Chains A and B, each alone.
Chain A
């Protein structure tokens, strides 16, 4: 049985208790809502994009520790990234939490703490919720659900 500590690592617990960039962004240039109707996780991702570069990222919402930590770690990673780089990060993260493989560990950096999610398939959608919302925001879609 996988050690629970592999899932609930200190970094994750820290980001759940003290989420970074956890606020509404009034002057966001794009935003999208992510919803997991199965468990009730709900969050809104805000981005301020200038010349295809992410100047600021934040999120609002409530949910399980995994979804909150993932959103917090995500917003930390996005600053200074281009839209293209951000979309690449989305794909890499999805791969990380489903297979445990990190193609370019350097790029994923702190996000690798969420690799343990792959041992808990029921929680993958919790980890990817913020990322689906990010993808939707980058593509200017207002809302995304884990069940669509």
Chain B
């Protein structure tokens, strides 16, 4: 495979107005893609065009404009279903984001089915969105929350994970890729182990979708959640994929318009999936934006981009290791391009402020993973998270800024 040249990356950057048309000095180096990604012109135009030419509510009107909006909305659903290789398009439910997707499963699947003898298994790597909903389920049902441990490198200890599984385990929820330290988990293997004890598996795909190809059938999981804004799409849109049989058997999530079949004051009946879980007017423009992001990605040489990101991560990792005193956190066997670190004498927020002054945008804090911070015994971490529009120069500038921070505050 021909590696991408700097020129080719520059050309891709041109597609992202916020990155290529910025005029502030020092120039922005956006290294916080795990928080949210920048948007290509195609996505911005798709949203704009919808509001200029196609805006109407979906599924309701009998007039041409509404039918056009509905067509685009449902076509977007198909694009997304194809992107994750869902066996059926009706298995893709539109939600606000990964957090809402997990909450939907917790409230409409877990609450009805779990009891005091049951267990929910998560891991030490989880984002709060994949911890708190399950805690609530356990509080309300009497089920027990079990947490699979992680190695110091940040890998799930598979034999420990297996030991956590037993016939009481009803739900296993874990992340595909850790937002805090970049670990890429062996999802297929973990799913098989969970299925062997009869548990249902939910995978948090938020950090993985932008970096690895998704095939929910190959992964074997029962639920898959991700957010549009982490995939170069708009905020406020996400997807819960779930097996048709599971979704059909679930109680409703939110009640309201759209998701009903008939309503009387005595009783209401509900629409089939996925509409059953889509109460109210959806984020129509968000859906169209997300589909546009996927179509944009398909115009790029995705294997080459993955290779480039891996190279960039290796470059950044080597550079950081050569800076004295900075300690890396998270050196899993396989990673998405996330690099987290701390300095024993300088607080993460001070580092973040110095870097901000140099135009470098990184994340400083607990990364919505307080239990993981406690495991590594750090109050906070600094995190670089890369995308294919980042460059070696940006990483060089980041390293220079880190040295400046040490000079100022060390």
B379 A63 Cβ-Cβ under 8 A: yes
Contact among A4, A8, A38, A64 for B347, CB-based, below 8 A: A64
B380 A4 Cβ-Cβ under 8 A: no
Q: Known: A40-B366, A40-B379. Is A126-B25 also a contact (CB below 8 A)?
A: no
| A66 in contact (CB, < 8 A) | yes
A65 B347 Cβ-Cβ under 8 A: yes
| B244 in contact (CB, < 8 A) | no
Contacts of B379 in A (CB 8 A): 39-42, 62-63
Contacts of B352 in A (CB 8 A): 122
Determine how close the nearest CB of chain B comes to the CB of A129; give it in whole angstroms: 11
Complex CA distance for A126 and B348, rounded to whole angstroms: 12
Contacts of B24 in A (CB 8 A): 1
Contact among A4, A62, A63, A123 for B408, CB-based, below 8 A: A4
Complex CA distance for A16 and B409, rounded to whole angstroms: 9
Contacts of A133 in B (CB 8 A): none
Determine how close the nearest CB of chain A comes to the CB of B31; give it in whole angstroms: 17
| B186 in contact (CB, < 8 A) | no
8 residue pairs, one from A and one from B, having the closest CB atoms:
A40-B379, A64-B347, A64-B349, A4-B357, A65-B350, A40-B380, A64-B350, A39-B349
10 contacts between A and B (CB under 8 A): A1-B26, A8-B350, A40-B366, A41-B347, A42-B379, A62-B379, A64-B349, A64-B350, A123-B349, A123-B353
A8 B349 Cβ-Cβ under 8 A: no
A8 B409 Cβ-Cβ under 8 A: yes
Contacts of A18 in B (CB 8 A): none
A13 B348 Cβ-Cβ under 8 A: no
Chain A interface, number of residues (Cβ within 8 angstroms): 21
Determine how close the nearest CB of chain A comes to the CB of B32; give it in whole angstroms: 13
Main secondary structure of the interface of A (DSSP, over half): mixed
Contacts A8-B409, A40-B366, A41-B349 given; 5 further ones with Cβ under 8 A?
A1-B357, A37-B366, A63-B347, A64-B350, A122-B353
A66-80 residues at the B interface, CB under 8 angstroms: 66
Determine how close the nearest CB of chain B comes to the CB of A126; give it in whole angstroms: 6
Contacts of A16 in B (CB 8 A): 409
Determine how close the nearest CB of chain A comes to the CB of B341; give it in whole angstroms: 15
A8 B365 Cβ-Cβ under 8 A: no
Complex CA distance for A94 and B17, rounded to whole angstroms: 39
Contacts of B408 in A (CB 8 A): 4, 8, 13
| B364 in contact (CB, < 8 A) | yes
Complex CA distance for A123 and B357, rounded to whole angstroms: 13
Contact among B25, B26, B346, B365 for A38, CB-based, below 8 A: B365
| A144 in contact (CB, < 8 A) | no
| B131 in contact (CB, < 8 A) | no
Determine how close the nearest CB of chain A comes to the CB of B135; give it in whole angstroms: 17
Contacts of B346 in A (CB 8 A): 65
B300-349 residues at the A interface, CB under 8 angstroms: 346-349
Complex CA distance for A13 and B407, rounded to whole angstroms: 11
